[in-house]
Amino acid sequence: FMGANTYIGNAPNFMVFAIARHRGFKMPGFFGYMAWSGAVLIPTFLIAGYLFFR
């Protein structure tokens, strides 16, 4: 059941990705997304962990 939820939840992301690429925007690949998400989420999680679990 949860696999279906995550698949349905990702459908809008794939749609935006496909539309943007079709219109000529350069979109990052998997590792590009991983780099961007890591650069944002890792410091965010570290700060949240420090604030809430110290």
For residues 1 and 43, give the distance between their C-alpha atoms in angstroms, rounded to a whole number.
32
**Strands annotated E in 1-54:** none
Q: Determine the pLDDT at residue 2.
A: 66
Which residues, 6+ apart, have CB-to-CB distance to 38 below 8 Å? none
pLDDT for 1-54, tens place per residue? 666 666 777 778 888 889 999 999 998 888 998 999 999 999 999 999 999 998
- What sign does the dihedral 9-12-17-18 (CA atoms) show? positive
Q: Determine the pLDDT at residue 1.
A: 60
Q: Determine the pLDDT at residue 29.
A: 85
| pTM as predicted | 0.54
Q: Determine the pLDDT at residue 52.
A: 94
- Residues 36, 27: contact at Cβ < 8 Å? no
